[in-house]
Amino acid sequence: MKKLRIALLAVAAIVSLQSIKAQTVDEIVDKHLTALGGKEKLLTLKTVKMTGNLNTQGFDVGITVTLVQGIGSRNDISVPGMGEGFQVMNAAKGWNFMPFMGQASPEEVSADQVKASQGLLDVQGSLLNYKEKGNKVELLGKEKVADAECYKLKLTNAAGKESTLFIDATTFYRVKSIVKVGDDEVENTYSEFKKNEDGFLFPFSQTNDRGTIVFSSIETNKPVEEKIFTIN
């Protein structure tokens, strides 16, 4: 009887710890969403258009990113003296066209790439109502990013794609992410946080191993023609 009681207490302790951990994750997520303006405001975000430059290997590459919630993602890329290309994704298909990399015409991407890229269509963020979206979030502890103490979260979206998010424990901004792309990992760091004219908070500078993108303009909830997300 004594052994049974000890076993039951151990099970109760495990359940209790899991509950505390889940509450801690939700608390961090809630504070992160609050730092971005709150759930209600984020739910009003429908379109985003970001214009800037990528500095890479001595080139200044023009970048325009256009996103529509649940509809499509498009990156327009302009390389001085080498032409213009794009990357397009919608809910069913995707295309790449990089003439400066030898492509003569747009090429359709694989179904696996389309599936893995669906998170791009969620402009409101994978952490907003993450459970309802079928996403899972785990707390992996804390880790420093530069001088900032950060919560380290593992995000697994509904398609099974994993990423690691680093949430600043003071500001609750996402300051770093690590995303799996095939067998590789892409690490991004975010800085220069400020609100645009509509009061939405964005990092205006993003850095990875390819270079740094600095956005000069981020517009939200402006009309976007959905035909730009389809290549005929």
Instruction: Find the domain containing 148 and state its range.
Output: 2-229
What are 183-224's pLDDT values in tens digits? 788 899 999 999 999 999 999 999 998 889 999 999 999 999
Q: The domain spanning residue 47 has which CATH number?
A: 2.50.20
Q: What is the pLDDT of residues 62-110, one digit of tens each?
A: 999 999 999 999 999 998 888 899 999 999 999 999 888 888 899 999 9
Q: Mean pLDDT throughout 6-14?
A: 43
- What total number of domains does the chain contain? 1
Q: How confident is the model at residue 9 (pLDDT cuts 50, 70, 90)?
A: very low
pTM: 0.84
Whether the CA torsion 70, 187, 163, 192 is positive or negative: it is: negative
Backbone torsions φ then ψ of 163, nearest 5 degrees: -145, 160
Q: Are 66 and 224 in contact (CB under 8 A)?
A: yes
Task: Give the helix ranges, DSSP H, for the chain.
Answer: 2-35, 39-42, 111-116
CB atoms within 10 A of CB 17: 10
